Structure 1
Amino acid sequence: MSQFTVSGQFQSRDGYSSFETSIEAPNENVARDHVLSNIGSQHGLKRTQIEISEVTAE
């Protein structure tokens, strides 16, 4: 499995908050899916409220 760094922003009470997280996944699509799931569950957001701007492999 590869290490991916995913960055973007999500809607919060004060506008938008930025995030950057590293995740281990077999490919870029799985990494995106896991990040959407994790941030959505932590902050009570739907996937449409989260914008991923960049996914890079390390």
Structure 2
Amino acid sequence: MSLGDKIKNKADELAGQAKEVVGTVTGNEELQAEGKADQTGAEIKQVGESVKDVFKN
């Protein structure tokens, strides 16, 4: 996994966390769910990149 990919995936995860918090604070369940989905997507990308790294080595 390149450093750029790691940074982008972490940024996506943090953005998802922020959306979830804003959704929770404002009572916006849709935004909260969207934030959770964004986090899950970023985590899946991170796992996929880690698997690629294992097979490269």
- Give the TM-score category using the shorter length: 0.3 to 0.5
Structure with more of its chain in helix, by fraction: 2
Structure with more of its chain in strand, by fraction: 1
Bigger radius of gyration, 1 or 2? 2
In the superposition, the TM-score normalised over structure 2's length comes to 0.34
Relative contact order: is structure 1 or structure 2 higher (C-alpha 8 Å, sep ≥ 6)? 1
In the superposition, the TM-score normalised over structure 1's length comes to 0.33
